Chains A and B, each alone.
Chain A
Amino acid sequence: MANLETMTINMGPQHPSTHGVLQLVLELDGEIVRKATPHIGFLHRGVEKLAEHRTYHQILPLTDRLDYLAPMHNNLGYVLAVEKLLGITDDIPERAQVIRVLLAELTRLKSHLVWLACHALDIGAMTVFIYAFREREHIMDIYEKVSGARMTTNYFRVGGLSADLPDGLEKEIRDFVNSMPGHIATYEGLLTGNKIWQKRIQNVGIISGEDAIDLGVTGPSLRGSGVDWDLRRDQPYSGYENYDFEVIVEDGCDTWARYVARLKEMHESCKIIHQALDKLKPGPVLADAPQIVLPSKQDTVNTIEGLIHHFKIISEGFKPDVGEVYVGVENPKGEVGFYLVSDGSPRPYRMKIRPASFINLQALPKMCEGSMIADVVAVIGTPDIVLGEIDR
């Protein structure tokens, strides 16, 4: 006779496999998960409220701290939204756009490396973690040379970039990206043919394409369910239409499909980075719009005009037209979007962030209900969530 009683157990918020402070309350029937209820908000910092009290330039550092594994993408989404609001999208210099794409794709590599490392670690494949973090460390070094910071880069600016790339960095990026396919082959060698890895993630965490669309899932998690949609190709921004790359779509709908999709996506990112390096020509990295952009650091510290200019922009900000825009970009985790409402003052009247992880997490109960409790750990890793972005 079936036992109708269920047991409720608590997982997190301090659990090594929850990728931050995620609490899952699981209702179990034996080892089968009947219901999974995520509880979030432990990292809530009120970014949207804070943004209403800061000028457009001052909000940029807040965006770093959303998805802290892909800070450049958050910056990119935000600056594109502000530029659209100002109507200066077409005035961004070519070099700035190429560098934005270059760093965005490096960031995608970095984010996918952390996902791979942690996902494998959750399931017990510990070796991959060390290898993936070695390469991630290299990208962090590049970050540091570009922006001075390893994680919260704050490098893009409304109108361009805060500074040009340092000398010699292009070669370093080229060498690193040349080495990447070999590294990816190493990870695949450790995982793809591994029977334990296959058994743990094949046919686990299944979600159909229709359900995924209905639940608002985006990014590689959606493409792993056979939906061919990538904002880089379908609503190109920052010149993505000039790059030749493939949108990876896998039909498996399971954790395995998402694993394969992300690995292939890393190869595509390498392709884009090579093309971006080829396109890189000398030129300005800030738009010619003195009412809006900050002067270069050299001007600010060396000339009185530069200092006045800097002071004026920082203390007063700039005033966009009254209106509202939404810009979404293809973050490594899915679509991250910024909805800005301007009332003509130097501060946004309302800023709404569309967090990819928040909405992808909503699909987690769908993915793990009906499966074994041991699979929950495998499923938590697969939507690639970051709690900094979920809680904002």
Chain B
Amino acid sequence: MSVQAVVDKLKARFGDTVLETVEFRGETTVMVKKEEIVAVCTFLKGDLGFNFLTDLCGVDYMGQAPRFMMVYQLYNIGNHTRLRIKAPVEEADTTIDTVSDVWATANWMERECWDLMGITFNNHPDLRRILLPEEWEGHPLRKDYPVQGPDREPYQGRLQ
């Protein structure tokens, strides 16, 4: 099944949930509403063969609305196609349902996403920080988190 056929099936099954489809450099990205993310992923895995979750991550588009974007990279081991699913997440409500029931591998990926980007995953079995210490404050991959750390002045260069 080509990627286009997959997109068509998604649209036929979910209708308005599919917000937009983008093609860039031969890669297809489908944006869906975050409320339906588990249903979309279950459908993609069960009916369309995307049995492998390659990776997931959050992107912070600070200053835009919605501020966050969840990105899921899927792979079909049967016919070796890739698909990217995105779901916008509002700044006022930085939560999304976990997909760790669909692919077990999402467990640690979502922990990392919570740790570094501060997206909360509803119904996640074990949502703890994974790379940073438990007592860490803030989420470093957010755009408003300074690269040199929160308690230091930014580097001004050697010559003043």
Interface residues of chain A, those whose CB is within 8 Å of chain B, are 40-41, 44, 46, 48-50, 52-53, 84-85, 87, 211, 213-216, 227, 229, 234-235, 323-326, 328, 335, 337, 339, 341, 349-350, 352, 354, 358-359, 362, 391-392
Chain A interface mostly: mixed
Q: When chains A and B are docked, how far (Å) is the Cα of A40 from the Cα of B27?
A: 33
Q: How far, in Å, is A56 (CB) from chain B's closest CB? A: 15
Q: What residues of chain A lie closer than 8 Å to B51, measured between beta carbons? A: 213
Q: Which of B7-28 contact A (CB under 8 A)?
A: 24-25, 27
Q: How far, in Å, is B33 (CB) from chain A's closest CB? A: 20
**Smallest CB gap from A85: residue in B:** B25
Chain B interface mostly: mixed
Taking a contact as CB atoms under 8 Å apart, the answer to whether B105 and A362 are in contact is yes
From A44, A326, A337, A349, give the contact of B59 (CB < 8 A): A349
**Smallest CB gap from A352: residue in B:** B57
Q: When chains A and B are docked, how far (Å) is the Cα of A46 from the Cα of B29?
A: 27
Taking a contact as CB atoms under 8 Å apart, the answer to whether A339 and B147 are in contact is no
Q: When chains A and B are docked, how far (Å) is the Cα of A326 from the Cα of B52?
A: 15
Taking a contact as CB atoms under 8 Å apart, the answer to whether B131 and A392 are in contact is yes
Taking a contact as CB atoms under 8 Å apart, the answer to whether B80 and A49 are in contact is no
Taking a contact as CB atoms under 8 Å apart, the answer to whether B147 and A324 are in contact is no
**20 more A-B contacts (CB under 8 A) besides A216-B103, A339-B55, A358-B112?**
A41-B130, A41-B133, A46-B140, A48-B116, A84-B25, A215-B105, A216-B52, A227-B77, A229-B77, A323-B24, A324-B24, A324-B29, A324-B84, A325-B25, A326-B84, A339-B73, A350-B59, A352-B57, A354-B54, A359-B109
Interface residues of chain B, those whose CB is within 8 Å of chain A, are 24-25, 27, 29, 51-55, 57, 59-60, 71, 73, 77, 80, 82, 84, 103-105, 107-109, 112, 116, 129-133, 140-141, 145, 147
28 A–B contact pairs at CB < 8 A?
A40-B130, A40-B131, A41-B131, A46-B140, A49-B140, A53-B147, A87-B25, A215-B104, A216-B104, A216-B105, A229-B77, A235-B82, A324-B24, A324-B27, A324-B84, A326-B54, A326-B73, A326-B82, A339-B55, A339-B57, A339-B71, A339-B73, A350-B57, A350-B59, A354-B54, A358-B108, A358-B112, A392-B131
Interface centre among A49, A50, A52, A234 (most CB of B within 10 A): A49
Q: What residues of chain A lie closer than 8 Å to B60, measured between beta carbons? A: 350
